[in-house]
Structure 1
Amino acid sequence: MTASPADVVETPDLCGAYPRLDEHQIAELSRPGERRSVSPGDILHREGEQLREFIVILQGKVAVVEGYGAKERTIAVHGPGRFLGELGLLTGQAGFVTAVVREPGEVLAVPADEIRTIVAGDPALGDLILRSYLTRRTLLIGLDAGFRIIGSRYSPDARRLCEFAARNRIPHRWIDLEEDEAADALLRELRFSPHDTPVVIWRGDQVLRNPTTAELAKTIGLLAPASSDTVCDVVVVGAGPAGLAAGVYAASDGLTTVVLDAVAAGGQAGTSSRIENYLGFPTGISGAELAERAVIQAGKFGARLTVPAEASELEPREGHYGIFVEGECVVKAHAVIIATGARYRKLDVPHLDKFEGSGVYYAATPFELRMCRRSPVVVVGGGNSAGQAALYLNGNASSVRMLVRGGDVHGSMSRYLADEIDRTPGIEIMYYTEVRELLGDRTLQAVRAENTRTGELLEIQTSALFVFIGAEPHTEWLKGTVPLDDRGFIVTGQGTSPWGTPLSLETGHMGVFAAGDVRSGSVKRVASAVGEGAMAVRLVHERFTTTGTQ
C-alpha cells in the first residue's frame, strides 16, 4: 500500500505518549537487541497478534495504523529514537494496531521478556516506557480503536461485554443499535440481524456472536484459567487494591503467586474516575490507571493474573487448598488470601431488576458516561463513591442530582470532595430524600422520591440512576467454609482451633487470610486495603514458618 505524504510526517508528542530515547538508552537496549534493516511495507507487528518485541526506530519512519489493508486509519507516525508498542507488550494482551514501515531504515528489536527485565532494573527507562504505554492506551480508548461491539443498550449481554472492556481498559468501539446510523448497514454487511446481537468484530474479519466474557478475553489474549497439578505458594482471590498489593508483595518476596478476579483488576476503586487523596499522587490518579500500574508491577515480579476467573469454591485439602472456577479446580496453593472486596448495595424498591443495565447502574465508567450524554442524572448516596461519580458524570450530563438520606455529606464524604461538589455548577444535593419507585416501561424514565422530613413525593425525570449506598461483601462462595459475621464479612484473628490462635488476618482455616473490604472490621479505604494486602503476605510467611512449607 502506497503511503500518502501525510502518512510520513512524524506525529508530534503533545502528551508524553511518544518520547524519544537518548543515545545511552539505545545503547543499553542494543545489548540484548537485534538490529534489522526494514523496507516500506514491512509489518513490524500486526493487529490481533501478541506483541513479542520492543522495537526502537533507528532510521526511517513507521506508521501505527488500525485496520491495515482495509479501512485503514493512521494513529501515529514515528521517526528515529522513538519506540513502538503499547501496554499489551507488558501485560501479554494482543496488539490493537499494526506497525508498518513507511520509509526505509533500521530498527532495534528487543525480545519482550528482555525488555521487562531491563525495565525492572532501570527505573528511569522503565518509568519512561510505562508512562508512554499508559498514555497510548488512553489515546486508543479515546479514539475508539480496537474491537467493535454492536448491540442494543437495553441488552444485558451487550452491557456485560461493554462493562468487561471498559473495566479492563481494553480499546473498543461501542456501536449502539438505537443511536448509531451505521449499525444496521454494518450488520447487513456481516449478514446478521439485530436479533443476533451483541456481536463482536475483531481484526476486521473475525466475528463473535454473543461471546462469553471468557471467550472474548481469550480472543484478545488475556490469560484464561487453566487447571494445574502444581501447588503454588499463594493464590490471591480478588484483584482490587488489597489483592493487587498482596500479589505485588508476595511475588516480590519470591513466592509463586496467582491472582484471580471475576471481572477486572481494580475492584470498586477501579471504577473511580479520580482518587485525589491517595498518597504519592498529588494531582490524583484514576482507579483504572492505579490498577494498571499495579498489574504491571505484579507481573514484573512474576505474579500471574487471570481475568475473568470467578472463584466458586474454596476446598481444604491435605497440606494445601483448591480454588474452583466454574466447577473446576484451577489453582492449588499452600496459602490463600481472600480479597474479593464488596459491591454496592441495591435499592429496596420494586422492579429494580427490570431496569438494571438499562437505567440503573452501580459504576460510573466511560461506558455509563456514554449512556447518559446530555441527559439528567440521579446519583443515590452521600459517600466518596457517590461524590466522585457525581463530579465525573457532571461533565457529560445535562444535570446531576444527588439524593442523600441524611442532612449532610461532610460526615460521610472526604472534605475535598464535598467542597468540590459545593463549587461545581450543575450538581444539586437533595437532603433527606430517598427513592421509592422507578418509573418507565422498557427503560428508566423517572424516579419517584420522598422527602422523609416533609413526606412530599417528587417525580424526577431521568434515564440514568447511579446507586452508591454502602457495600455488601463478595462472600457467597465462602458460606459454610470460613467464619462470616452477621453482614457476611469474613471474621479474622478470632477464636481458637486445634492448630492454635489465628493470626490477625487469618480466618478459621490455617493459611487462609482475608484482606481489604471483604474483612470484618476493615477500614473501607484504598490505602487501608493496600496495607492489609501487604500485611497478609507478611503473615503468610509467618504461617509458613510454623507449617514448614518454606
Structure 2
Amino acid sequence: MDSTDAAGAYSRLNRDQIEALSGYGERRRTREGDVLVREGQRHRDLFVVLSGAVAMVEGSGTGEERLVGVHGPGWFLDEVGLLTGRPSFVSAVVREPGEVLALPVPALLDFVARDPRLGDVILRAFLCRREQLLGAVAGIRIVGSRFSPDTRRLREFAARNRIPHTWIDLEEDETAERLLRRMRVGPGQTPVVIWRDGRVLHNPTNAELAQRVGPGAVDELPGAIVDVVIAGGGPAGLAAAVYGASEGLDVVVLDAVGAGGQAGTSPRIENYLGFPAGISGAELTDRAVVQAEKFGAAIAAPATAVALERRDGYHAVRVGGREGVVRARTVVVATGARYRRLDVPRLADFEGTSVYYAATVVEARFCARRPVVVVGGGNSAGQAVVFLLQHAASVRLVIRHADLGRDMSRYLVDQIERDGRVEVHRDSKVCGLAGADGRLESVEVEHEPTGERRSLDAGLLFVFVGAQPCTDWLGGLVALDEQGYVRTGPAVGGPVAGGRPPDLLETSEPGVFAVGDVRSGSIKRVASAVGEGAMAIRLVHQHLARLGRLSEG
C-alpha cells in the first residue's frame, strides 16, 4: 500500500485537507513498534500519518509475517472494513516514530458529509484497498476439500461478503497437510477457518464466521418497533435502505447470506447507468452498504426472514439463525428469486461440488484448466460465459431456443459470438450427467429438433434456467400470482383493509411492499430494482402518515 499501489492516487491528503480534519480528531505521538491497528480486531479510528512512517503487516509477530506496504506523511490507513465495523485483516505498526491524527469514525462521517469531495477520496481508496486484499494472500484461510459442501458454503459466504480469504485445497495444495498438522487438526476435522494468529474455527456456521469477521453491522436485533424492516439485501433492498435511512426512518435490513443478492455475484454489470466501463456486482454492493450505513441503516447478515406475521398495529418478521423477531410499522419484501434446478437424473449427486448457480471468483478457482458447461439464455448466463472464458479450458453454452439475442442483452451476445472459444448449442437441453464421487465428468446434451445426443466433457456445470421467487416465508399473508411472485398495486385485484386501493408497490397486506425480482411483473434488471426500492420508501412515508406517524421527507 505504498505509492505504487492501485489506491495510491487517492490515499494521500494535502495540507488543507489535513488541516480541515484536525478539528475532528486527536494528534498522537508515535514510537517505533507501536501497533495502531491489530489484525483480527475491530477498531473505530481512522489514522492519518502526519510524520514518520507506518507499515501495514500481515501476520505481525508470527513466522509468516509479510510486509504489505508502508504509509508516509499525508497518507491515511485502513480500508472499507473500517466503515462497516469489520475486524482488520492487517496490522498497522509504526516503523518510524512521528505523529498521527486519530479520527473516530462518527466524526469522520460527520466531516465527509460536510465535504463530499474528501469523502469520495477516502471511499475510493478504501474500495481499492479491499480489492487489493481480496487479490492478495491476506485475511483468513479456509482449509478443506473442493468436494466438501461445507467448504463450498464457507467460501461462498466469504466471497459474497467480500471477506479477504485464501482457500487451501486438501486435494491439490501440498501445504495443506503441513498446516493442519501444525494446528493439530486432522483431515477428517475439516473444513476449518484459520487466522494468522493461530485461532482455529472448526467448520463454523455462517453466523459463527460472521461474528468473528463481519459482516453484520447488527449483533442484536432491535427490541423497539422500527419504521421499516427490509427483507433482502439485493439492489432493491439496499436502495430502500439508503433512501429510507437518509430520510430519517429507522431501517433494519435482513439478508440470509450477505448483501448484494444475485447482482452481487455478477462479475461485471456493463449496462448500469453511470458506469460506462462497467462495475462488478461486488463493488456496487460495497458502495451501497457503506452508503446505507452512513445514513444509519442497520444491516444484519446472516439473518434469514423465515416468517411474517400481523400483530396489533405492526408487523413481525421472525428471523432464523438469530431466534428473534423484528417488529416494524412497515415491511419491504426484497427477497428476490433463486435459480431453478435442472430436472435431470443425478443432479443432487453433483450439487455443491460440480454444479453451481453463480459464477464468481470462488467458482473461477475451480475452473482452472477444466472444461465447463453453462446452461441458460439470459443475462446471468451470458455474464457467466464471458467471465468464465478468463479461467476455464473451454466454455460451452446450452440454450433451449435458436436465438441467443431473445433474452440476452446485445452487448453480451456480441461478446459471445465474437469469441471463437465459446461453443453454443442451440435448441438443446441437458438430459444427463456422468461422473463419480461428486466429481462431474461429462454432460449429455440433446438437440431437441433431431433428438441427437452428444456427450460434452465438463468438470463443472453452471445453471441459469429461470428463477423461483423466495416467498415461502410469507406464509400466505400476501397474495401471490400463479408462479409464486408477490402481487402488488392493481395486480392485487381488490382493495386492502379500509377499502382503499393498494399503493403501486403495496401488497394485499397494508404496509407490506414488494420490490425487485420477488414482485410479480417486475423487470429483472438492476436499475429497475434500485428504482423500485427508492419508490417503496415514498409509499412507506404515505403509510406512516396514515398511521399518524408523520415523517419528514
Would you say the 8 A contact 2:10–2:121 is kept in 1?
Answer: no
Aligned with residue 295 of structure 1, among 264, 269, 289: 289
Structure 1 residue 116 displacement after superposition: 1.6
Structure 1 residue 498 displacement after superposition: 3.2
SS at match of 1:63: strand
Structure 1 residue 18 displacement after superposition: 5.6
SS at match of 1:440: strand
Would you say the 8 A contact 1:51–1:85 is kept in 2?
Answer: no
Give unpaired runs (5+ residues) of structure 2. Answer: none
For residue 120 of structure 1, what is the aligned residue in structure 2?
A: 113
SS at match of 2:461: strand
The letter for the 1-side match of 2:496 is S
For residue 43 of structure 1, what is the aligned residue in structure 2?
A: 35
Structure 1 residue 119 displacement after superposition: 2.1
Would you say the 8 A contact 1:315–1:323 is kept in 2?
Answer: yes
How far apart, CA to CA, are the structure 1 residues paired with 2:495 and 2:213?
47
Would you say the 8 A contact 1:64–1:76 is kept in 2?
Answer: yes
Q: What are the within-5 Å matches in structure 2 for residues 248-287 of structure 1?
A: 248-287=242-281
Aligned with residue 99 of structure 1, among 57, 71, 92: 92
Would you say the 8 A contact 1:499–1:510 is kept in 2?
Answer: no
For residue 402 of structure 1, what is the aligned residue in structure 2?
A: 397
For residue 480 of structure 2, what is the aligned residue in structure 1?
A: 484
SS at match of 2:36: strand
How far apart, CA to CA, are the structure 1 residues paired with 2:497 and 2:198?
60
For residue 315 of structure 2, what is the aligned residue in structure 1?
A: 321
For residue 25 of structure 2, what is the aligned residue in structure 1?
A: 33
Q: Quick check: 1:135 aligned with 2:128?
A: yes
Deviations 1:26-56 (A, max 9, x none): 0111001111111110101101111311101
How far apart, CA to CA, are the structure 1 residues paired with 2:408 and 2:120?
33
How far apart, CA to CA, are the structure 1 residues paired with 2:416 and 2:123?
33
Structure 1 residue 345 displacement after superposition: 1.1
Structure 1 residue 225 displacement after superposition: 5.3
Aligned with residue 304 of structure 1, among 283, 298, 301: 298
Q: Quick check: 1:545 aligned with 2:545?
A: yes
For residue 520 of structure 1, what is the aligned residue in structure 2?
A: 520
Further displaced range: 343-352 or 233-242: 343-352
Identity %: 58
The letter for the 1-side match of 2:21 is L
Q: Quick check: 1:511 aligned with 2:503?
A: no
Label 1:17 to 1:458 Cα distance change in 2 as closer, same or farther (>3 A). Answer: farther
Deviations 1:170-218 (A, max 9, x none): 1001011011101111111111111100101124211110111000000
Q: Quick check: 1:62 aligned with 2:58?
A: no
Q: What are the within-5 Å matches in structure 2 for residues 174-185 of structure 1?
A: 174-185=167-178
Give unpaired runs (5+ residues) of structure 1. Answer: 1-8
How far apart, CA to CA, are the structure 2 residues paired with 1:420 and 1:16?
33
Q: Quick check: 1:168 aligned with 2:161?
A: yes
Label 1:147 to 1:233 Cα distance change in 2 as closer, same or farther (>3 A). Answer: same
How far apart, CA to CA, are the structure 2 residues paired with 1:107 and 1:497?
59
SS at match of 2:338: strand
RMSD of Structure 2 on Structure 1 (CA) = 1.3
Further displaced range: 11-20 or 376-385: 11-20
Label 1:521 to 1:14 Cα distance change in 2 as closer, same or farther (>3 A). Answer: closer
Aligned with residue 349 of structure 1, among 344, 366, 370: 344
SS at match of 2:262: helix
SS at match of 2:436: coil
SS at match of 1:289: helix
Further displaced range: 429-438 or 495-504: 495-504
The letter for the 2-side match of 1:296 is V
Would you say the 8 A contact 2:36–2:91 is kept in 1?
Answer: yes
For residue 333 of structure 1, what is the aligned residue in structure 2?
A: 328
Further displaced range: 154-163 or 117-126: 117-126
Structure 1 residue 73 displacement after superposition: 0.7
SS at match of 1:61: strand
Structure 1 residue 228 displacement after superposition: 3.5
How far apart, CA to CA, are the structure 1 residues paired with 2:168 and 2:414?
37
Label 1:386 to 1:45 Cα distance change in 2 as closer, same or farther (>3 A). Answer: same
The letter for the 2-side match of 1:22 is N
How far apart, CA to CA, are the structure 2 residues paired with 1:549 and 1:157?
46
Q: What are the within-5 Å matches in structure 2 for residues 178-217 of structure 1?
A: 178-217=171-210
Deviations 1:65-84 (A, max 9, x none): 11000010111111111100
SS at match of 1:535: helix
Deviations 1:240-283 (A, max 9, x none): 01000000000011001001100111111001110001001111
TM-score normalized by the length of structure 2: 0.96
How far apart, CA to CA, are the structure 2 residues paired with 1:230 and 1:17?
44
SS at match of 2:24: coil
TM-score normalized by the length of structure 1: 0.96
How far apart, CA to CA, are the structure 1 residues paired with 2:431 and 2:185?
41
